[in-house]
């Protein structure tokens, strides 16, 4: 996948979009569970889950000094 900062490489041998979405959903669920399913934090849980999954499974490659 091409991004502003280069290509994204997937560490774990490759995850597809469906697997990524499932990982995010599970992560968001456990975040909600941890705070007792308190209402009105669903979007925060989802966005934080996306960030965490990306940090764990995606790394920038082919970065050049011009793109930083």
8 A C-beta contact, residue 35 and residue 60: no
Put simply, whether the predicted model's pTM sits higher than 0.75 gets the answer no
pLDDT band for 16, please (50, 70, 90 cuts). confident
Neighbours of 42 (CB within 10 A): 13
Position 5 pLDDT exceeds 70 = no
Q: pLDDT tens-digit profile of 27-48?
A: 999 999 998 999 999 999 999 9
Return the higher-pLDDT residue of 23 and 56: 23
Q: What percent of the chain has pLDDT over 70?
A: 65
């Amino acid at each position: 996948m091409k991004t502003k900062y280069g290509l994204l490489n997937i560490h774990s041998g490759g995850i597809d979009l469906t697997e990524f979405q499932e990982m995010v959903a599970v992560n968001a669920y456990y975040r909600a569970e941890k705070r007792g399913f308190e209402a009105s934090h669903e979007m925060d849980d989802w966005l934080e889950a996306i960030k965490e999954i990306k940090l764990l499974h995606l790394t920038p490659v082919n970065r050049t000094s011009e793109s930083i």
